[in-house]
Structure 1
Amino acid sequence: MVSPFQKALAEKVKAGTKRDLKLRHGCSLDFTSNDYLALSSHPAVIQAAKAALDSYGTGATGARLLSGNSKPLEDLEIELAQLKDQQAALVFNTGFQANLTILGTLLSNQYYDKTPIVFSDRLNHASIHQGCQLAGARQHRYHHVDYDHLHSLIKKHAVPGHPHFILTESVFGMDGDVADLGIICDLAETVGAYVYVDEAHATGVLGDNGSGLSSAYANRLFGVMGTFSKALGGFGAYFAGSQELKDFLINFAPGFIYSTALPPATIAANHQAIKLLPTLQQERQHLQALAQQLRSHLSQMGFNTGQSTTHIIPLILGDVEKATKLQHHLIDGGILTSLIRPPTVPPHTSRLRLALQAKHTVDDIKLLTDVMAQF
């Protein structure tokens, strides 16, 4: 008898979307990593982690409401709040966990007299959608970065007396385009909606001193979520907002309450990475210049890079088989890229995702385009 698990996997195989864990060997050029500023290997970050190991050991030993809280962790949260120009910050263990438990808590009916009304970009990260699902909140999904559509949904579904929320990423991780936070805030203010921004792919790379795109709108936002695991080169996530919201999450967010705190070495590495951000303006400029150069080359070659304006560049090929073949061709040329297929992206938009890093060079871009030209 075929189990339901075998059946589901067989359907994945048939559709060409089955995922497997693989070790990549023999590739000298990597465009898969989210370590945009190469901080995971920065000597100062590594040294901070080593020093924390010597001082505090390997583990946090418990949840923060038990034995896991520490002064280094509270110091990190103070630094985060300053970076995001918010009153307070709270550290979580992963980006997915953060969105899931934050939204699952904040959007829950039990805290409001009337049901929250939620508007969400259709291409928001899966963790945002699942956080809404956990809360039992119905999402009104607007077309990707289509604010005329958002406006029409607000006019149709907003109800006086209900709490309203607008959820968006600032930089979209699979498309490399950006949300217009100014327009979103303007629309939110017409109905008193709370704006929640996921800054996972912007923090460190964009904004004043790498503070992300949200900091320019700090006083108009309900809250900001982000991660340490991308441009900061570390691990974990955070929420930044009011002290009231921080206290609320400490008391009601199960993903925070029942999770062991981050290890001391991870906390130290994350904090050191944030301290380095003001010194990395040259790296940020180099990264954006490389991205512009690569988009220009790819456009001349006839490739579709969508609306990317950042260090994340999609090669949208549509067909799963074609995208897979190009990925294998690049591997044969010593180049790693990420194959992204539905349901991570919408049907018929399978792609290779190119994530640029500050350590990439003009010669690296030339090698990539030369190998692609042979496809």
Structure 2
Amino acid sequence: MSWQQRIEQALNERRQHAAYRQRQVNQGGNGRYLQCNGQQYLNFSSNDYLGLSQHAEVIAAWQQGAVHYGVGSGGSGHVTGFSQAHHELEQQLAQWLGYPRALLFISGYAANQAVLAALMQAGDCLLADRLSHASLLEAAMHSPAQLRRFHHNQPHSLASLLQKACTGQQLVITEGIFSMDGDSAPLAELQHLTHQAGGWLMVDDAHGIGVRGAQGRGSCWQQGVRPEILVVTFGKAFGVSGAAVLCDEPLAEYLLQFARHLIYSTAMPPAQACALQAALHCVQQGDELRAQLQRHIQRFRAGVASLPLKLTDSDTAIQPLVVGDNQQTLVLAQRLREQGIWVSAIRPPTVPPGSARLRITLTAAHQTEDIERLLEVLHDICV
């Protein structure tokens, strides 16, 4: 089979299963509304949970940072790319989240890959929630460690895996809030079992940071848990992009020496670090934004309870409606767009087979009338 045949076969298989992905050109911002193909839609697919991507303070900080530093970092942080803005942001994050150190990464994907690639050795065991993000599972599968997957959010399943023989170190990995179901991990139980077995816990809190816990400190803070490794990302509630790894001093120094994604990547622009400092301030002062988001979540869940679709067990901004069939999910997403509402159809392999869904995300930028309009249209097309 030639290269061309191999590629065409893979593409045709995706098309046949209604799993073919296509990008759409967003002609405006990614806030309450988005513009696509010259039309305006109410946006219920954004992870910008607090609406900070459009916040005047964050935008102004990026602009001022660009004036001071330019628009790029110019190199790896190990060469000339580590600026005062990066340094200050790392210090602020560490103090805010109660860790000795924070290290900035260009993305959450890179942060997860870097940590697992640098840490895991032959003989070690990685114990991962089955629904962990692709960046975690992919890094785990490519590492020399043995990957063992426990049932989603089931501490007893983890406990049985921790009892199995492991000649090296054990690292348990999970998420604070799962991106496709919107449910929360039982972090306190997972941490107790992990420490009881002498292992470390790593939590990716991409969808919890900024929206859960005091001052938005995230899922771990909310549940009274301090994992050995905490990954937070800035492309969701912070409204920007990038990520940070929070850890103790020796591990931070170890990652600076051995994390290839950190060493060999151009650092994020210093202007972006300036914007993230402003976003952090907005998150810390964002109690009303978080309260607004919770009101939207409660109203939405009450409004869809009678729909003939499965609503996942989520009290977060992620409110998926599970349809099941790929083609039917695409049809419902298209019918929503015909009514001026943008909702993404999520299909395998992003989610398990037979669980295609409308992934609805709510934000503090939405107004009450937006939620009511969404509910009205959902009832029209689903009942």
TM-score, structure 2 as length reference: 0.93
Q: Distance in 1 between matches of 2:142 and 2:316?
A: 31
Q: Distance in 1 between matches of 2:362 and 2:244?
A: 24
Report the Cα offset of residue 83 of structure 1. Answer: 2.2
- Local SS of the residue matching 1:64: coil
Point out the structure with the larger helix share.
Answer: 1
Q: Distance in 2 between matches of 1:174 and 1:334?
A: 23
Report the Cα offset of residue 138 of structure 1. Answer: 2.4
Q: Which residue of 2 aligns with 1:46?
A: 59
1:124 aligns with 2:137: no
Q: Which amino acid aligns with 1:43?
A: A
Contact 2:41 2:337 in 1 (8 A): no
- Local SS of the residue matching 1:69: coil
1:357 aligns with 2:370: no
Deviation string, structure 1 residues 268-302 (Cα, Å, up to 9, x no partner): 11111001222110110110121121112111223
Q: Distance in 1 between matches of 2:309 and 2:354?
A: 15
| Cα distance change, pair 278–325 in 1 and its aligned pair in 2 (3 A) | same
- Local SS of the residue matching 2:302: helix
Q: Distance in 2 between matches of 1:248 and 1:193?
A: 18
Match of 1:11 among 6, 10, 13: 13
Pairing 1:142-291 to 2, within 5 Å after superposition? 142-155=150-163, 157-159=164-166, 162-216=168-222, 220-291=226-297
Deviation string, structure 1 residues 171-229 (Cα, Å, up to 9, x no partner): 00111100011100111122111000001001111111001012356774111001111
Q: Which residue of 2 aligns with 1:323?
A: 329
Q: Which amino acid aligns with 1:102?
A: V
Q: Distance in 1 between matches of 2:199 and 2:223?
A: 14
Q: Distance in 1 between matches of 2:280 and 2:118?
A: 28
Q: Which amino acid aligns with 2:23?
A: L
Q: Distance in 2 between matches of 1:165 and 1:158?
A: 14
Q: Which amino acid aligns with 1:53?
A: A
| Cα distance change, pair 84–326 in 1 and its aligned pair in 2 (3 A) | same
| Cα distance change, pair 296–217 in 1 and its aligned pair in 2 (3 A) | closer
1:32 aligns with 2:32: no
Match of 1:92 among 101, 105, 114: 105
Q: Distance in 1 between matches of 2:40 and 2:180?
A: 22
Deviation string, structure 1 residues 302-329 (Cα, Å, up to 9, x no partner): 3211111211101101110111111000
Contact 2:169 2:199 in 1 (8 A): yes
Contact 2:318 2:361 in 1 (8 A): yes
Report the Cα offset of residue 58 of structure 1. Answer: 0.9
TM-score, structure 1 as length reference: 0.95
Match of 1:82 among 81, 91, 95: 95
| Cα distance change, pair 274–313 in 1 and its aligned pair in 2 (3 A) | same
Q: Distance in 1 between matches of 2:42 and 2:247?
A: 39
| Cα distance change, pair 265–295 in 1 and its aligned pair in 2 (3 A) | same
Deviation string, structure 1 residues 320-369 (Cα, Å, up to 9, x no partner): 01111110000000000111110100110000111111011221111111
Q: Which residue of 1 aligns with 2:145?
A: 137
Q: Distance in 2 between matches of 1:222 and 1:335?
A: 41
Q: Which amino acid aligns with 1:313?
A: Q
- Local SS of the residue matching 1:27: strand
Q: Distance in 2 between matches of 1:217 and 1:72?
A: 31
| Cα distance change, pair 229–220 in 1 and its aligned pair in 2 (3 A) | closer
Q: Which amino acid aligns with 1:12?
A: R
Q: Distance in 2 between matches of 1:259 and 1:338?
A: 31
Unaligned runs of 5+ in 2: 26-35
Q: Which residue of 1 aligns with 2:28?
A: none
Contact 1:158 1:191 in 2 (8 A): no
Give me the CA root mean square deviation.
Answer: 1.4
Contact 2:50 2:237 in 1 (8 A): yes
Q: Which residue of 2 aligns with 1:105?
A: 118
- Local SS of the residue matching 2:179: coil
Unaligned runs of 5+ in 1: 110-114
Q: Distance in 1 between matches of 2:94 and 2:172?
A: 21
Q: Distance in 1 between matches of 2:209 and 2:79?
A: 30
Report the Cα offset of residue 158 of structure 1. Answer: 4.2
Contact 2:181 2:314 in 1 (8 A): yes
| Cα distance change, pair 68–99 in 1 and its aligned pair in 2 (3 A) | same
| Cα distance change, pair 158–83 in 1 and its aligned pair in 2 (3 A) | farther
Report the Cα offset of residue 108 of structure 1. Answer: 2.9
Deviation string, structure 1 residues 80-132 (Cα, Å, up to 9, x no partner): 112221110000001111111111111133xxxxx111111000000000111
